[in-house]
Amino acid sequence: MSITITERYAKRELSEDRSTARHSREYTVIGTDDELVAYELIKAAAPVRYSNLWRNQIRVQERADGLWDGEISYSPLRRESGQSEWSFNIGTKQIHVSHSLETVSQNVPDGEDAADFKQAINVTGDAADMRVEGVDIPSPTLTWQETLYLDLDSFTSTYLSTLFNAVGKVNSGDFRIWSEQEVQLLGVSGEPAGDVVKLTFQFTSEPSKTGLTIGDIEGIAKKGFEYLWVRWETSEDDTAKVLTQKAKQVNVEKVIDTVDFDTLGIPDPF
């Protein structure tokens, strides 16, 4: 005798209430005396997920010899305090640079000498009005978010103040795989989710750089979110007999406060 399984579609139920959403399905299995066989058939027939609900219980009951009733119930996935999730995005952002990595070519009319601008980009004006305009270029960027489910009792006014004081800041020490001042907390959002609070943290990173060269100035180092700027001065190119812009000084500034990201209490998902 062959084994068949059918769903009783008239028995499907769905509740869309946000906090108590439920869904159920009923099946009939004919042709086996083994409850494990009936159970596995019903389990295989029912999807693991329906909408935003997850399969959480399977019940099988014998109605007659070789005839089984089965019921599948679905509910929101329960979150426990301390659980976390993450997602990321790697894209680009526009940054402004005043100098190139390398001057590939210099092209001037025959018989004239090219001025050496020491990799300064878009030098405009003359004499005292001379300036380095620079150029906007795309730069790779990594942003990601982490979701933490925190027990309601742990979400205190003190912790809320900790979050507020950390937003916009960068890491004061090593954080996960990143070194000091390479990660910025862009924002935090939260909402109740049953008996826990769902907190979503948004981060971005900026790699540190060492061994930079700008004009004739070498060995420059900059931590991730530190700000680098160049003081240019007008200088005469003896070969081309023209005025150029020369990097006189390179400053690296700390412009964003730091904070210990360990105070956020997020488990490391990596």
- Domain segments of the chain as ranges: 4-75, 84-264
Res 185 pLDDT > 60 = yes
pLDDT band at 160 (very low <50, low <70, confident <90, very high): very high
| Confidence bin at 10 (pLDDT 50/70/90) | confident
CB atoms within 10 A of CB 215: 19
What is the pLDDT at residue 84? Answer: 66
* 93 Cβ contact list (under 8 Å, min separation 6): 138, 139, 141
- pLDDT above 60 for 18: no
Residue type, 249: Q
Q: How far apart are CA 29 and CA 245, in angstroms?
A: 84
Q: What is the sign, positive or negative, of the torsion defined by CA atoms of 101, 141, 187, 172?
A: negative
Query: 70 pLDDT band (50/70/90 cuts)?
Result: very high
Is 60 exceeded by the pLDDT of residue 19?
Answer: no
Contact status, residue 42 vs residue 58, Cβ threshold 8 Å: yes
> Which SS3 state, helix, strand or coil, does residue 79 take?
coil
Q: Is residue 78 pLDDT above 80, yes or no?
A: no
Q: What is the pLDDT of residue 81?
A: 59
